[in-house]
């Protein structure tokens, strides 16, 4: 695994991080308030967390051998408002939420796991945290009360699921989003930034070539729209990843034809592609 610094149009290699004993599946940066922290997961059934120090990069966490039983395919740090948390999912269908805790008396730090068994049948491939700021808090005139603790997952059961924790340390409640949007493995999910606006949206993409945008019409009530490529509800090849711009107004999709397409929603609320580039 390599860490680069990008300066204008130049890339400078900063570090080679060695530790995984197989392909690295995903990486995720923590919020800068926690320092330079980078998490990685891989085919070796491990999650690792790396920290940049004055002496260089060092590994500060390596998941125990029995925490994951299969390739770890998805991970992401939680929004910084929730503290230092990380969620990861593996090919057995398990999701693990790791929370950084410090003992008040000894000062000793540890990563405490909370496991969701069989989150998806056969495996988890996508995971994305919801914004911690409640939707609509920017326009309701009141300071946000509490923080939202939710994330979305997608997996080999063709499903997109939303997981909610009502109180810190409590159980994670599952909602499987209705509608047969995908008929094959869900490869990736991405929760749209809402900037405190009254909107919750999740994008998902599938091995069957479909891409869907799910919108929460009311609390717990989700509907979806399938993106249309060349007047078809299908990209014509597997779609691999989805990602939102920081403002949540542009969605990017990558597919098996090495295309990167950019989508936006018009005033008529119809999703339209406005750019396509071969990778």
Structural domains in the chain? 1-118 (2.130.10.10), 122-279 (2.130.10.10)
Report the predicted TM-score, pTM, of the whole model to 2 decimal places: 0.93
- Give the pLDDT mean for 175-190: 93
**For residue 41, is pLDDT > 80?**
yes
Predicted local confidence at residue 269, as pLDDT: 85
What proportion of the chain, given as a percentage, has pLDDT over 70?
A: 96
Predicted confidence at residue 81, as pLDDT, reads 94
Q: Report residue 249's pLDDT band, with 50, 70 and 90 as the boundaries.
A: very high
Q: Provide the pLDDT confidence category of residue 8 given band limits of 50, 70 and 90.
A: confident
> Does the pLDDT at position 198 exceed 80?
no
Phi, psi angles (nearest 5°) of residue 233: -85, 45
Q: What angle do CA 224, 225, 229 make, to 5 degrees?
A: 150
Residue 76: name the closest of 151, 20, 134 by CA.
151
pLDDT at 235: 96
Residue 142 pLDDT grade (very low, low, confident, very high; cuts 50, 70, 90): low
pLDDT band per the 50, 70, 90 thresholds, residue 266:
confident
């Amino acid at each position: 695994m390599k860490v680069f610094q990008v300066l204008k149009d130049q890339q400078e290699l900063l570090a080679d991080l060695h530790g995984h004993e197989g392909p690295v599946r995903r990486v995720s940066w923590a919020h800068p308030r926690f320092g330079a922290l980078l998490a990685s997961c891989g085919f070796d059934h491990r999650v690792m967390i790396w920290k940049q120090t004055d002496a260089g990069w060092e590994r500060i966490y390596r998941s125990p051998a029995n925490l994951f039983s299969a390739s770890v395919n998805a991970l992401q740090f939680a929004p910084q408002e929730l503290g230092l948390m990380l969620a990861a999912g593996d090919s057995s269908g398990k999701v693990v939420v790791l929370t950084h805790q410090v003992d008040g008396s000894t000062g000793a730090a540890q990563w405490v796991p909370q496991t969701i068994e069989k989150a998806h049948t056969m495996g988890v491939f996508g995971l994305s945290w919801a914004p911690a700021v409640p939707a609509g808090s920017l326009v309701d005139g009141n300071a946000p009360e509490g923080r939202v603790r939710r994330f979305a997952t997608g997996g080999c059961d063709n499903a997109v699921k939303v997981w909610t924790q009502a109180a810190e340390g409590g159980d994670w409640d599952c909602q499987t989003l209705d509608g047969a949007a995908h008929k094959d493995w869900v490869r990736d999910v991405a929760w749209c930034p809402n900037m405190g606006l009254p909107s919750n949206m999740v994008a998902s993409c599938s091995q069957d070539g479909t891409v869907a945008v799910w919108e929460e019409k009311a609390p717990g009530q989700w509907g979806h729209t399938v993106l249309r490529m060349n007047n078809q509800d299908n990209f014509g090849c597997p779609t691999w990843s989805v990602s939102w711009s920081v403002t949540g107004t542009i969605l990017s999709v990558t597919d098996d034809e090495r295309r990167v397409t950019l989508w936006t929603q018009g005033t008529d609320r119809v999703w339209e592609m406005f750019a396509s580039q071969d990778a």
